[in-house]
Amino acid sequence: MIDDDVGVAEEPVLREIETTGWEIKKRLSGDNIFKWMTFLFAFSVLAILLLMVVEMVEESLLSMDKFGWGFITGQDWDAVQESFGALPFIWGSVVTSILALLLATPLSVGTALFITEIVPKKAGGVVASLVELLAAIPSVIYGLWGVLVMAPWVQRSVGPFLIDHLGFLPFFKGPAYGVGILAAVFILMIMVVPIITSITKEVILAVPQSQREAAIALGATRWEMLRIAVLPYGKSGILGAVILGLGRAIGETMAVTMVIGNTPQIFTSLLAPGYTMPSVIANEFAEASSNLHSAALMEIGLILLVVTLIINSLARLLIWSVTRGERGGNVI
Amino acid sequence: MTVLAWRKGKSAGMTLLMALFTLAVLIPLVLIFIHIIKMGFSSINLDFFLQIPKPTGETGGGMANGLAGSAILITLASLLGIPVGIFGAIYLTEYGGGRFSDLIRFCADVLSGIPSIITGMVAYTLLVVPLKGFSALAGAFALSLIMIPIVLRTTEEQLKLVPGTLREASLALGIPLWRTTLKVTLRSALTGVITGILLSIARVAGETAPLLFTALGNQFWSRKLTEPIAAMPLQIFSFAISPYDDWHRLAWAGALVLVTIMFGLSLAARYFGRSRQSGN
């Protein structure tokens, strides 16, 4: 086979004479074609992302024109009157995600510390792969378990218990339906724990051994060593893991849709049903009654997209700053 | 000494607390598995694999159309998503470098963090509206958008592991760069690349949200790729939220099959990943 690169070694004079023929051949050579093909595929990733943003903006223009910024603070959601406001969904998403993270963060960091610093490596590995199994279960199966097993349990046991003992607080008022905010918080907590745990584990493993040794040499107990040497060193990475979990919780659709009760309202009781941004899209988008209705749903999608873009970028930067781009680049 | 005792006690207490947290993380996992296995095995039978869902009120039926639909959707999504992912990764490792490659990496990471329901909405505006109907094609397109960043990033990681000397040896023999890339670089990273592909398939096999308004679901068999098509996750969803016990039964059986398929894929991925490690 004749390789095109041989041309480079030829005499300059010769090259000058044959330059046109050589140039064409080089341009059409396998290497160039292949390079441009791979470039096109790589470029398509950027194109897809831009296309997504452009499409979402374009499709929600109708709703933006009609409601303006009032869309975010509006509380009505009425397809018949064509009056749409996103506040109940934003409220639902924010409350469920934040509560789920408040529960999941200590559990995840505790588990990550336990499996990396305390138990023998092999036992820790077993627990780590079990936790990774949790991450692999599809959202719809969490939803199935949530609606058929967990929600009835919340209705029978957790709900009445909270009403009896903490019922004087506005957060635990009213009848327990089973499906509702509390069930959504539980299911989200179960779903984000594996993400936060596995990234925190990586972050803790990236803490240099000398940090631990220094603390131990100063006479620190095991907990003091973790508190003064390991956790502060991995602080920003762990924060990144938590923020990534937040991004996942806010965008989570199926499991939440199945257990949250799908009622657009500004709730104060955790036992009441609610609604989130992804859930309303999932439930109403395919059967949107008018152009304005689907544009309003698109705008909710756009808000969700912008929020997750910000959250994810922030999380990546934080995780990269600790693991120095070695492990942080993995797609999760 | 009492201070030391207190410090030691505190350390032991925190260790115990961490152990309890680990236990609390594992309990839901165990419960979910117990329920899937118990309910799934008591509900599954041969009809599940051979029949389509019965109309409301009739007992029996299965998810044969959902199984086939999922297989079709995943195949189509792979045809679109895997080449883009692999060749994009080849550009990043073999030709790229510099700001543009970093931008592509960043975009891939961001893309993988976008909620899958938004992928579904975009596929709806790009394919369902112009084609005037829900279709398997739109569903597969939405799934491929989820596969691309996963395949791209895992392939890139694997290609980076191939030693430069291998490429140089091939180039020194006069083999053009593109053939070197395909026959030497990609080939020696193949098992790792396959691992990434299997993981991406496992991921999209369970995706429901992007299919809600693209593939839509179908109670019957689909004849064309331009028709709505049934998919396992969609059927599990609609059966789980239905009020009928018989449909709940089918949903559990579906969950068991789906989880089995996904763990099968993960195990296969691990097997490939391991054989690569031992090979080096």
A293 in a domain, yes or no?
yes
The reply to whether A162 and A45 lie within a common domain is no
Q: Are strands A83-84 and A77-78 parallel, antiparallel or unpaired?
A: antiparallel
Chain A: give the shortest CA distance to residue B16, in Å: 9
Give the model's pLDDT for residue A21.
58
The reply to whether A58 and A205 lie within a common domain is no
Q: Is the pLDDT of residue A131 over 50?
A: yes
Question: Across residues A30-51, what is the average pLDDT?
Answer: 93
Give the model's pLDDT for residue A326.
45
| Cβ neighbours of A313 in B, within 8 Å | 106, 110
Q: Which of B28, B176, B251 sits opposite A3 (nearest CB)?
A: B176
The reply to whether A261 and A169 lie within a common domain is yes
Model confidence over A132-170: pLDDT tens digits? 888 889 999 999 999 999 999 999 998 888 888 888 888
Nearest CA in chain B to A119: B19
Give the model's pLDDT for residue A132.
86
The reply to whether A232 and A103 lie within a common domain is yes
Q: Quick check: B14 and A115 CB within 8 A?
A: no
CA dist A39 and B103 (Å) reads 13
DSSP B203-261: HHHT--GGGTTTTB--SS---STTS-B--HHHHHHHHHTSS-HHHHHHHHHHHHHHHHH
How many structural domains compose chain A? Answer: 2
3-class secondary-structure state, position B174? coil
Chain A interface includes B225 (CB < 8 A)? no
Give the model's pLDDT for residue A183.
95
CA dist A245 and A193 (Å) reads 8
A126 in a domain, yes or no?
yes
Chain A interface includes B104 (CB < 8 A)? yes
CA dist B123 and A52 (Å) reads 9
CATH number at residue A130: 1.10.3720.10
Q: Which of A51, A114, A309 sits opposite B22 (nearest CB)?
A: A114
Q: Which CATH superfamily is domain B61-279 in?
A: MetI-like (1.10.3720.10)
A303 in a domain, yes or no?
yes
A331 in a domain, yes or no?
no
Q: Quick check: B240 and A305 CB within 8 A?
A: no
A195 in a domain, yes or no?
yes
Give the model's pLDDT for residue A255.
96
Percent pLDDT > 70 in chain A is 89
The reply to whether A96 and A56 lie within a common domain is no
Q: Which of B22, B84, B181 sits opposite A111 (nearest CB)?
A: B22
Q: Is the pLDDT of residue A292 over 50?
A: yes
Q: If pLDDT is split at 50, 70 and 90, which confidence band does A325 have?
A: very low
The reply to whether A83 and A53 lie within a common domain is no
| Cβ neighbours of B89 in A, within 8 Å | 42
3-class secondary-structure state, position A269? coil
Mean of the per-residue pLDDT values for chain A? 87
Walk along chain B (280 residues) and give the pLDDT tens digit of each residue: 688 999 999 999 999 999 999 999 999 999 999 999 999 999 899 989 999 988 877 788 889 999 999 999 999 999 999 999 999 999 999 988 788 998 999 899 889 989 999 999 999 999 999 999 999 999 999 999 999 999 999 999 999 999 999 999 999 998 999 999 999 999 999 999 999 999 999 999 999 999 999 999 998 998 889 999 999 999 999 999 998 888 999 999 999 999 999 989 988 888 877 765 544 3
Q: Cα dihedral sign for A37, A38, A43, A44?
A: positive
Domain end position, chosen among A19, A48, A66: A66
Give the model's pLDDT for residue B276.
55
Q: Is the pLDDT of residue A4 over 60?
A: no
- Find the domain containing A58 and state its range: 4-66
Give the model's pLDDT for residue A9.
47
Give the model's pLDDT for residue A27.
61
Give the model's pLDDT for residue B279.
44
Q: Quick check: B32 and A145 CB within 8 A?
A: yes
A234 in a domain, yes or no?
yes
Chain A: give the shortest CA distance to residue B104, in Å: 6
Model confidence over A169-195: pLDDT tens digits? 888 887 888 899 999 999 999 999 999
Q: Is the pLDDT of residue A201 over 70?
A: yes
Beta carbons of A313 and B110 less than 8 angstroms apart: yes
